[in-house]
Structure 1
Amino acid sequence: MSGAGVRTLLVHEFLTAGGLVSAAGPETGGGPAVSGEDPAGHAALLAQGRAMRDAMLADLQALPAVRAGRLRLRVADCADAPWAAGAHQEVWRAEPGETPLDFARRLLQGVDLAWMVAPESDGLLAACLNLAGERRWIGCDAQAIAVASSKMRTLQALADHGVLTPLALRLADAASRWVVKPDDGAGCVATEVFDDAAAAEARAQARRATGEGVTLQPWVEGEAMSVSLLCTSGQAQLLSLNRQQVTVDVDGGVRYAGVEVGALAAADPRRRALQRLADRVRAALPGLRGFVGVDLVWHGGLGPVAIEINPRVSCAYAGQSARLGINLAGAVLAACGHPAD
């Protein structure tokens, strides 16, 4: 660990740490299944990762504890997303042949705190927590990550706490489209929409036959949204109401084109219902800590329908500090029991 009175905090965003590899999987700690054959997809994911990492670091660098050298930063980067070292920070890069998880393990040597961002896919976020240990971890606990890493477990937990989900009978009975997607997927990767229930079921069965864990759900019609939360042991503070840019191709493929953070005004009449949703989400997963995102659809007749939970920093983190007039990194550290000062 660091010297007396000085702590070291690791900032590790999986994609910009070199996690975008073609051989994805928990054995190697590979990233999302985007290979060199899809350079556009690779570039888009890397840009999202870089936006998250750079926003986290900008906030951290503004903290008095970092400026004074009481909190030092260790930053993971890669050749495609370099970060220049500055005062009270050091930059590390993976060695040739080093797997992403082996690199993370080496990065964690001698640090006091670890703020790590990784997809839930293939258990990567959980693996990062296991490497860091709960004592050093900045973020949600192991149980919350385990539930949020499965779309079906998430929906079941939320339904048990009065949250409307796509599995509700009134939505299922009225559905005209259905969606097949990975149970532990991140974003819209490998997500397909069908107009015919039988076709959706056949596709789900075909994907399961290959060993993939997929979920089949009614497609909820409405406005794609998300809420950004700051979660502590006692509450879920609503930071912003965001609009998700999600489209469905003619072939049924679902595409994610980004998020409009704070697109809905604080005075939006839906805010009260969304705060109730946030409170129920925190009650359903009491181990949520720090920055958390909830993806949802606003149904014209039924209100918010929860789709999934992101138990980590997401794309909606970027720009939040300036928009809210706070240092969100400092608030996250405090919410996780590690105030910076």
Structure 2
Amino acid sequence: MARMKVFVFDPIAAGVTPARRLPGTLRRQGEMLFQALLADLGALSGIDVLTTASPGLAAVAADAAVDAGGVDITAASAESHVGNGPAWVQSPAAPDGQPAMPSAVEVPPQPQLPSLPLEAHRFGAQFAAGLQAADAVWPLASESDGMLEQLSRAILRGKRILLGSAPGAVEVVASKLELARVLRAGGVAVVATYSPHAALPHDSGPWVVKPDDGAGCLDTRLFSDRAAALAWIRANAADRYVLQPFVAGKLGSLSLICCDGIARVLACNLERMAMRDNRFHFLGSVVNGLSDGDGTLARLAQQVAAAIPTLWGYVGVDFVLTAHGAMVLDVNPRLTAAYAGLHASTGCNPAGLVLDLLNGTAAMGTPVGMRRAVSVDVGMP
């Protein structure tokens, strides 16, 4: 059987400047997930891993920059630009108890590289070269500012296997307003989400303000009441923000693999959060730190997958566990912090489970047997 070349692409690591400044915790989380995914893929037989540090890719990218002619492969858009940022260097040795990092694959020259779709070049010559050389691409990008959706479309138009959710699903979950609408229409309990221009209920309790397309708890703020929340939005001209009534409860997340409207729960995680200056700060996850004895969370996972059936591969679902049940806060069509502890928690290789989905839902297998609590810390902001 032919070996599969999987290109793992992290746009931030490759030099793509995000539209919003990322806090150090998000950057550390990205590095942690990158290394965890490389370790998991490297433990699989029949898989060759490409990164922007793979031998040959830099040379191919440089040749492409010359051969592309009128195609500007260093400029992206007004919101982000591609530079010649540092390439990832794989660790020569893995941490104790972890699989060895995969060997990089030599990439032969690809003289036809500039014929790729123009949007493939938006993310730089390194991405275009990796896309050309690979059979499948696993994008490590946030859904914020349309980054993950644009990458996913470029991968599909480049006729490569996308190891992630369909672009349409990414587009839905990237908007808190649209996600709430779709989940509510699918009968999923979801925290109410409002535009600043909508008629808001006269709840007397605290309100949360966050970017409509934000990832994690980036720039998420708590206000004492609705008036204070609206006043902050007006004062900061923050029209792309949304409001949610604060829902008290235990914060958790689900680590899922999804395919064709079906979800398999890999872990039910306890989320750790801190408040500083009225802002939420994510500290980390306790993978499989929550139990699901009555199957409530498993049912929630199936409802989310059914409501957005083109979710595919690894998916995270954030929720708040209240006295009346679980309510969805967010859906993440990408690796979440909990991924870094999944292999140790379950004894299963989560990257292998995702690749198995290429054979359809029949390959989703039996439920995870081992569920050991494993802490994943991203540190203080």
TM-score, reference length from structure 1: 0.80
* 1:141 partnered with 2:166: yes
What residue ranges of structure 1 are gaps of 5+ in the alignment?
26-31, 35-40, 66-70, 93-98
Shift of 1:110: 2.1
* 1:198 partnered with 2:227: yes
* 1:246 partnered with 2:234: no
* 1:39-96 alpha-carbon deviations (Å, 9 max, x no partner): xx33x2222112111111111111121xxxxx3210135748531477652499xxxx
- 2:193, 2:144 → 1: CA distance? 25
Q: How many residues align?
A: 301
Shift of 1:105: 2.7
* 1:189 partnered with 2:218: yes
Q: Which residue of 1 aligns with 2:145?
A: 122
Q: Is the 8 A contact 1:181 1:216 kept in 2?
A: yes
* 1:324 partnered with 2:346: yes
Shift of 1:181: 0.6
Instruction: Give 1 or 2 for the bigger CA radius of gyration.
Output: 2
Q: 1:88 to 1:247 in 2, by over 3 A?
A: closer
Any idea what SS the aligned residue of 1:76 has? coil
* 1:313 partnered with 2:335: yes
Alignment of 1:1-341 (within 5 A): 5-19=2-16, 21=17, 24-25=18-19, 32-34=20-22, 41-42=23-24, 44-65=25-46, 71-76=47-52, 79=86, 82-84=89-91, 88-90=103-105, 101-102=123-124, 103-133=126-156, 135-167=160-192, 176-207=205-236, 209=237, 212-249=239-276, 251-265=277-291, 268-269=292-293, 272-300=295-323, 302-337=324-359
Q: 1:175 to 1:237 in 2, by over 3 A?
A: farther
- 1:241, 1:289 → 2: CA distance? 18
Shift of 1:220: 1.0
Any idea what SS the aligned residue of 2:295 has? helix
- Cα RMSD, aligned residues only: 2.7
- 1:183, 1:223 → 2: CA distance? 23
Any idea what SS the aligned residue of 1:237 has? strand
Q: Is the 8 A contact 2:260 2:309 kept in 1?
A: yes
* 1:17-43 alpha-carbon deviations (Å, 9 max, x no partner): 344x4xx33xxxxxx413xxxxxx33x
Q: 1:139 to 1:296 in 2, by over 3 A?
A: same
- 2:218, 2:272 → 1: CA distance? 14
> Aligned AA for 2:14?
A
Shift of 1:174: 5.5
* 1:202-223 alpha-carbon deviations (Å, 9 max, x no partner): 222344x35x511111111111
Any idea what SS the aligned residue of 2:89 has? coil
> Aligned AA for 1:218?
P
Any idea what SS the aligned residue of 2:288 has? strand
Any idea what SS the aligned residue of 2:132 has? coil
Q: Is the 8 A contact 1:225 1:296 kept in 2?
A: yes
What residue ranges of structure 2 are gaps of 5+ in the alignment?
54-84, 93-100, 108-120, 195-199, 364-381
Any idea what SS the aligned residue of 2:213 has? coil
Q: Is the 8 A contact 1:243 1:259 kept in 2?
A: yes
**Among the aligned pairs, what percent are the same residue?**
34
Shift of 1:109: 2.0
Shift of 1:168: 8.4
Q: Is the 8 A contact 2:180 2:193 kept in 1?
A: no
TM-score, reference length from structure 2: 0.72
